[in-house]
Chains A and B, each alone.
Chain A
Amino acid sequence: MNRTPLWKAALILAVVLFGTLYALPNLFGEIPAVQITPLKAASTWNTTALKTQLESVLGEAGLTIQGFQEEAQTLSLLFAETDTQLKARDRIDSALNPDPQRPAYVVALNLLPAAPAWLQAIGAKPMYLGLDLRGGVHFLLEVDMAGAIAQRLDAFAADMQATLRAERIRARQITRQGNAIIARFADGETANKARTVLAKVFVELTFDLDETADGPRLVARLTPSAEKTIRDFALKQNITTLHNRINELGVAEPIIQQQGANRIVVQLPGVQDVAKAKDILGRTATLEVRLVDDTPGALEAAVSGRVPSGTELLYDRTGRPILVKREVVLTGERLTDAQPGFDSQTNEPAVHLTLDAAGARIFRDITRDNVGKRMAILLIDRGVAEVVTAPVIRTEISGGRVQISGAMTTSEARDIALLLRAGSLAAPMRIVEERTVGPSLGKENIERGVKATLYGFVAIALFMILYYELVGLFSVIALFVNLVLLVAILSLLQATLTLPGIAAVALTLGMAIDANVLINERIREELRAGVSPQLAIAAGYDRAFDTILDSNITSLIAGLALLIFGWGPVRGFAVVHVLGILTSIFSAVMFSRFLINIWYGGNRRITRIRIG
């Protein structure tokens, strides 16, 4: 008798039901939408007024809104087609952000799942389409690590000079040569003294003393951990900067990821204006330190439109106005590091800044002359200056180690440090790879991929049913379940589906039928040898299983190698290939057996299996 134990049957049905549910959203497709998010978290987020405004704006342009969808602080407008969506975005952007220099809202293109609410409630989403299927821009950026390290070493060299001068140790010359800082001294004793002093201050460096023809010299190099920290920082800070800028580009689902040790992938679905995207990504932010004008009444005057001469009205991140003097005290080049931390005495969150030697001197003079006044640190990105922080100068600060503390949370301290670094230490980045796919090409690619898979599937199904009759039909149903499971897992993982990924779906189905062919052939063989139908089914499945496992494992090895070394679209291929091999073992072996057991398993006296 061939019966599926109850627990197993329940499990199989559960898996199939689960697969069907999570594969379902893909049938509904996606609706083009324009997503509106206020840039500053506003308490007065009144969508009713906004909706009326947008309806009239778009109505004038002859664009119809299909509906609205609201989430916390996000309003989405749904449209019938991408063409309307594109036009609507431009209209909405100019209506909501009359001054492009100071935008109030992020207006982004997006695709929203069209699946019914209950499906979305259980977290069922359609597959995440790659750029080659939805259109958009892909950039691969490389961070110039050698540049970042050289920059840092130059700063160290200047600091070493200052430290030695303060200790009255005379160095003949301090220069950076490649990845080392070389300090020359007149005699061994001075060099030794310098080494003791420097080693204490510069823990990130190792110092070696050696004798050359023209006197002793000290060779300083970065410790491996310090070098790694610099690399990590350079990368992280570039990613932060990119995040900030891409927000302004208005992309709903940007992907910004580290790839390898020094590269960053940026994918902007839906973006077609490459020139603008590159312009925004390519600009470097700068940092400036200026004094705040706290003259009583001056700020009020400025806000009402009468900005006193020699000053400028700026805003901080929360939109508070601050009147800042035009004269620049320091620029970001003088800043060598910015780290979040804590005040050693009050234990309040703080940001620690490190200035180079020249910066430290200027800073000492400025702080000495302006105790009790405020100092603003500005981040100038894309020509717009914003006040990151404006602390009060409490005492004269010398030595170039500055601490900003008071009235900030740990996460604020972290943000400020990150912003300061973004404006000062940004290691140069360059684009090493670029791909643009138009939206129509993406759509065409989907159609082609789906068509290829569909026709191939139909061909296999017809043949299997003709050749193996009823058992063939079971194999085809199992193959279909395989497809459903594969789609469900891809949707659930939100793995990126690319065109090679769709090809992999087709190929995987073409390969997965192998397991059923093996089983069916074995059953036929057993029947031919005169074995009774029930035994033939059992023997067919059992004997074929070893072979199925062996052949799938070899395919899996190839798939995993691709997954590890594959890039871009090929990775998509590998993901589908590997998942497909796994789902095919379930569907071809367990599910088809389950069907056969239901049909034939209960009856001991069957004399014939319809297997052709």
Chain B
Amino acid sequence: MEFFRLRSDIPFMRYAPVLNAVSLLLFLVALAAVMVRGLNLTIEFTGGTLVELASSQPIALEPLRQTLTTNGFPEAQVQHFGSVREAIVRLALHREESPEAITDRLRALLTARHPEITITRAEFVGPQVGKELVTNGVTALLLVVVGIILYLAARFEWRFAIAAIIANLHDVVIILGFFALFQWEFSLAVLAAVLAVLGYSVNETVVIFDRVREKMRASRGQINLAALLDHAITSTMSRTVITHGSTLAMVLSILLFGGETLYYFALALTIGILFGIYSSIFVSAALLMWFRVTRETLIRPERKKEEAVV
């Protein structure tokens, strides 16, 4: 079986200017969404209390809300979680009462008033811990960005590194944009997914760059950069679709069967993978074109390679 038996290269770069404009627009919209609406951070980051409930009967939310409102938790958020037999109660940090005391009070109240409901999970996070998580998350993101730039700069050339990282940050911002726009829950696991995407979608860029370098080294004289990029993308097209298809199959499987806890994690990965393909082709490759990489800029890293042993 073969999906792609392409006789000639697809002129991707011809569409680059238009799509770059679209990308820029998307990027700005996503950025605006994050700025204006902000991320719906879970209590892991903000601090607060979360209690997950389960019952053998469907849980009616209204009486539950009533109980909470009339017993000192007017700001409690109550939602179904996964199915109607499960529910989740969220409480933001309180200025006077420690989250620990709140959690204990909530636990006691629910046990007393709704004996039919069992508490399957209860968490609280103090404000300091949450703040540190935000700092750690940002630090991790920066570390990944710097690490990837350094590695690609050493392995290829700085222009390649910059092109790759811009393309991938573009993906990250778009994922964040989705989460801000739809106010999906942004948890620690989603942050992990975002960072994994950052490492993963660089792969795609690297594969294309590898081809570009290979062709540049092989060619003599004047190179038509756009044609070369088109060729690199077309010849790796099959691999791109199959690889990402496979990864996506796995991620969709997590999305469908992994349960509520992994849902947004898988969703972030799905968006990341789809945009990863797009940005590798139309952002990073196009950036290479704008940066005008030439054979000379790449000559330096030519290393001695051992002949294949056959």
Contact = CB atoms under 8 A, between A and B. Distances in A.
A506 B133 CA distance: 25
A514 B192 contact: no
A435 B207 CA distance: 42
Contacts of A535: 310
Nearest to A435: B123
A436 B50 CA distance: 10
B108 to A, nearest CB: 9
A452 B253 contact: yes
Interface in A457-478: 457, 459-460, 463-464, 466-467, 469
A399 to B, nearest CB: 42
Interface stretch (A162-170, A291-299, A365-373, A561-569): A561-569
Contact of A510 (B206, B250, B256): B250
Contacts of B124: 433-434
Contact of B242 (A1, A448, A517): A517
Given A435-B122, A553-B151, A570 B188 contact: yes
Contact of B262 (A274, A441, A452, A560): A452
Interface of B, helix, strand, loop or mixed by DSSP: helix
Given A557-B148, A564-B140, A517 B266 contact: no
Contacts of A550: 155, 206, 210
B238 interface: yes
Given A538-B310, A554-B199, A573 B192 contact: yes
A433 B249 CA distance: 36
Interface in A523-579: 524-525, 534-535, 538-539, 542, 546-547, 550-551, 553-562, 564-570, 573-574, 577
Contacts of A546: 210
Interface string B98-120: 10100110010000000000111
Contacts of B103: 434
A325 B10 CA distance: 95
A467 B256 CA distance: 24
A568 to B, nearest CB: 7
A161 interface: no
Interface in B238-254: 238-239, 242-243, 245-254
A612 interface: yes
Interface string B8-31: 000000000000000000000000
Given A553-B151, A554-B206, A503 B195 contact: no
A73 to B, nearest CB: 35
Contacts of B2: 467, 524, 612
A434 B247 contact: no
Contacts of A542: 308
Nearest to A498: B189
A500 B207 contact: no
Contact of A433 (B120, B129, B141, B259): B129
Given A438-B121, A558-B198, A452 B192 contact: no
A455 interface: yes
Contacts of A567: 133, 136, 188
A517 B118 contact: no
A511 to B, nearest CB: 6
B207 A518 contact: yes
Given A436-B121, A466-B1, A612-B2, A555 B199 contact: yes
B266 A503 contact: yes
A437 B250 contact: no
Contacts of A517: 239, 242-243, 246
A555 B151 CA distance: 11
Interface string A270-290: 000011000000000000000
B192 A551 contact: no
B69 interface: no
A348 interface: no
B129 A456 contact: no
A432 interface: yes
Given A274-B107, A444-B259, A551-B203, A507 B195 contact: no
Interface string B123-159: 1111011000100110111011001100110010000
Contacts of B104: 275
Interface in B206-235: 206-207, 210, 235
A507 B1 contact: no
A19 interface: no
B52 interface: yes
Nearest to A499: B261
Contacts of B238: 521
B201 to A, nearest CB: 9
A69 B257 CA distance: 37
A456 B122 contact: no
Interface of A: 1-2, 132, 140, 142, 274-275, 430-438, 440-441, 444-445, 448-449, 451-453, 455-457, 459-460, 463-464, 466-467, 469, 499-500, 503, 506-507, 509-511, 513-514, 517-518, 521, 524-525, 534-535, 538-539, 542, 546-547, 550-551, 553-562, 564-570, 573-574, 577, 612
Interface of B: 1-2, 52, 54, 98, 100, 103-104, 107, 118-126, 128-129, 133, 136-137, 139-141, 143-144, 147-148, 151-152, 155, 188-189, 191-192, 195-196, 198-200, 202-203, 206-207, 210, 235-236, 238-239, 242-243, 245-254, 256-259, 261-262, 265-266, 269, 308-310
The 9 tightest CB contacts between A and B, nearest first, are A558-B199, A510-B250, A456-B253, A551-B203, A432-B126, A456-B250, A565-B140, A557-B147, A438-B120
